[in-house]
Structure 1
């Protein structure tokens, strides 16, 4: 079998040596599904034809199969043994080239450029925010015919339905999810236990959060303790607005609804956390502290941190025994709870030289019950198959944080809908930054004026003006 390259131009043997052969190779062997031969023995193995092959691909096929991902070292590692094992046993004449670690901002220009230039990879990582964008522009290869003739394991009854909706455009599946997450509040109990009994009740509200955060805030300057850290972007505004009864767009995503008084009230609420109460750090505060996100929470200076479930394992490692902590669900309100995030998928770019092979690999890795638990545990992502979703919670958490499953997974699955991206979302996100950054980043007070401006330009973009 030919040597295989990654995006770092490393052979598999070099990659294993880089990661530490003595300990890591044994780990790969333990992760591998039954029947996957070790890499160095694959050349001597017979070509495997099994339930993961569709018959659409010649076993003697040769060439270079290219993959691109924004996930870098420490993130993509969990996929590599399964990708390589698939080819080594079934298509040993194929080389695999993985371009990993493409910076997030660069990824969304690099991949379209490759597709438009007629030199696309054969398989690509995709975020739900582009789930409709790429099919609408003709940048992705439909998987519908493959799913109908050779469905993934457990399809469709065992798959998270909201993730399938995000992957479907005009009735055709264009990607297959590899994991999903929900939002929660990560709670420093050393700060909050004297204010709010733990675990927080399921029916706690955004107003409850504000009151707890104000009481938990203390000190000044570099010694200040903030009661909460709530990141503010379009999805946060949507979550609060929906809880109180208003969407940011109409149901068809053809008109904006940013001039709704409830949306204005939600925006003022988020603004007040930073600029009136001072209970949530501003971007300037975080810059001065030299910390942000989950790392600021791990430092012990945040009472409640709003984040997605896949940071849980990283927090566990970063906090250690520094302080006791727990998890609370996203607050609720008159219209319900809205903290379902979604996730990411694999897609076949338009123009792929090996679309059938790309689907076989996707089906093998992303629906295989022998593989998904490893991806869930190592990535802190809920696997797309519902029967395996618990593997997205870190090991041992049932004992350490008994309510974690309920707060993140159970209540997450119960949430009625999700933030629906649309075909012009990529262009629209620039409008959000134009009108909302002065409000939420700089602290300007003209909230209503900015929302009306955003609404007008949103409608122009969507053709509803």
Structure 2
């Protein structure tokens, strides 16, 4: 059943089918430990620690996972947790493809991680993850009360949020001071556009822009991303949420900034020059970068100049301050795991105390101390570099940040996302107008919903 379900994952259909055809029929890949309850079950011998694997895409340098699992092992002698990276380069998409291969081949899987709600939802649909509801009920855990986001799928829980991503704005403080602009504590997207014009300097190869937007769908949904109740490009039932005033506003704003005001790096340049958002900001080519809070830890290691922070801008001045797009690493139990309780226990520890021990990421646990979380992240950096981080504006931003509702989309949402971003590219490069962009994206996304509902 598992292997049949995995054929739903288009990225590995051929590979998974091949593995299913040539794999061992022993059910455990030939390497599993003998099952409990054999002929020696009655003997009173010390139990060896149960080994569980935590599998994700982070490299050791990116995740400090070895020290993190060792901290857990020291206080849980009955378990030996081992971290296993699925990507030499720390690439989440590569890592997820390898996790799919493991699921298809029957290799040991216990704790698995996914980097986005659509990727997570797709694996739930493929039957890779075990429901957590019974474990949570036994522990008396109400997820929406304990965590900033609520990753419920069709009324059930298949994962808890690890590293939680909230969005904010990085600002080059030197350029901000030169333009005599204050660090914003509350602002709109129109304010952001005005800042970008005032921060844009020079012409030609030496030109520096006020803003940079990357190719991801997030940057085509700027004003929708902080809609409190419906911040997604697709509704929970799979209906597209594109023919929406906030989506139209977002695309018009970006087109104006890139092609009329010329205050944000043009989309064509971003794609044709294969720009990396980090490099653009570090090189001082853009004074502002709308991004996720993972960049705080990176700035603690690689910052080149003083960086200040501002909350995610609002659609309308009357909207509540601080609502931000959210995301997370989703940690779940592999349905094939032979040690589900031990896997759950580790997940619960990691998503509460463990992230603070890890010292690199922001926690999605509501009881985590924000100030201590920041200090742990900065402590992992270089003192001469962390001195360039404006802590006051960072803490202010983190304290006003509030998560929008996390909508875990249908399993086919990644197909819809691709169609949407294809149409956005045509619009931003002047090949079609806004109405055609919205109408075509809406129609193609609706077709995908219909084809998956048969």
Query: 1:224, CA displacement in angstroms?
Result: 0.8
Query: 1:125, CA displacement in angstroms?
Result: 1.2
1:421 aligns with 2:403: no
Change (3 A) 1:108 1:416: closer
1:240 aligns with 2:223: yes
1:101 aligns with 2:87: yes
Note if contact 2:226-2:404 (Cα within 8 Å) is conserved in structure 1. Answer: no
Distance 1:239 1:126 in 2: 24
Change (3 A) 1:242 1:291: closer
Render the CA deviation track for 1:109-165: whole Å, top value 9, x for unaligned: 22223223433522111224234332233220111111222357xx6586224x2x1
Distance 2:290 2:80 in 1: 44
Change (3 A) 1:365 1:184: closer
Aligned to 1:50: none
1:216 aligns with 2:199: yes
Any unmatched runs of 5+ in structure 2? 1-44, 380-385
Change (3 A) 1:296 1:80: same
Change (3 A) 1:327 1:311: same
Render the CA deviation track for 1:67-88: whole Å, top value 9, x for unaligned: 32111131232x3234235446
Number of residue pairs the alignment of both structures matches: 392
Distance 2:414 2:274 in 1: 30
Any unmatched runs of 5+ in structure 1? 1-57
Aligned to 1:401: 391
Note if contact 2:192-2:313 (Cα within 8 Å) is conserved in structure 1. Answer: yes
Decide which moves more: 86-95 or 62-71.
86-95
1:255 aligns with 2:234: no
SS of the residue 1:342 aligns to: strand
Distance 2:210 2:336 in 1: 50
Query: 1:327, CA displacement in angstroms?
Result: 0.9
Aligned to 1:116: 104
Question: Which of 338, 348, 357 is residue 374 of structure 1 equivalent to?
Answer: 357
Change (3 A) 1:274 1:418: farther
SS of the residue 1:351 aligns to: coil
Aligned to 1:278: 262
SS of the residue 1:218 aligns to: coil
1:340 aligns with 2:325: yes
Query: 1:61, CA displacement in angstroms?
Result: 5.1
Change (3 A) 1:90 1:195: closer
Change (3 A) 1:151 1:74: farther
1:386 aligns with 2:355: no
Change (3 A) 1:294 1:151: farther
1:220-231 equivalence runs, <5 A: 220-231=203-214
Distance 1:289 1:189 in 2: 26
Question: Which of 430, 434, 439 is residue 427 of structure 2 equivalent to?
Answer: 439
Query: 1:446, CA displacement in angstroms?
Result: 2.8
SS of the residue 2:169 aligns to: strand
Aligned to 2:53: 66
Aligned to 2:340: 355
Aligned to 1:455: 442
Change (3 A) 1:257 1:151: closer
Render the CA deviation track for 1:164-212: whole Å, top value 9, x for unaligned: x12x22222211222212111111122223545322141x211111122
Aligned to 2:127: 138
Change (3 A) 1:364 1:330: closer
Question: Which of 145, 164, 170 is residue 180 of structure 1 equivalent to?
Answer: 164
SS of the residue 1:74 aligns to: helix
Note if contact 1:294-1:315 (Cα within 8 Å) is conserved in structure 2. Answer: no
Aligned to 1:365: 350
SS of the residue 1:259 aligns to: coil
TM-score normalised by the chain length of structure 2: 0.75
SS of the residue 1:386 aligns to: coil
Change (3 A) 1:218 1:445: farther
SS of the residue 2:210 aligns to: coil
SS of the residue 1:114 aligns to: helix
Render the CA deviation track for 1:31-73: whole Å, top value 9, x for unaligned: xxxxxxxxxxxxxxxxxxxxxxxxxxx9825675333211113
Query: 1:276, CA displacement in angstroms?
Result: 2.2
Distance 1:208 1:95 in 2: 49
Distance 1:309 1:94 in 2: 31
Query: 1:249, CA displacement in angstroms?
Result: 5.0
Distance 1:127 1:381 in 2: 14
Render the CA deviation track for 1:207-262: whole Å, top value 9, x for unaligned: 11112212221212321110111235323333314668986657544321323454
Query: 1:462, CA displacement in angstroms?
Result: 1.6
TM-score normalised by the chain length of structure 1: 0.73
Change (3 A) 1:420 1:412: farther
Note if contact 1:243-1:332 (Cα within 8 Å) is conserved in structure 2. Answer: yes
Note if contact 2:116-2:329 (Cα within 8 Å) is conserved in structure 1. Answer: yes
Change (3 A) 1:196 1:95: closer
Change (3 A) 1:450 1:317: same
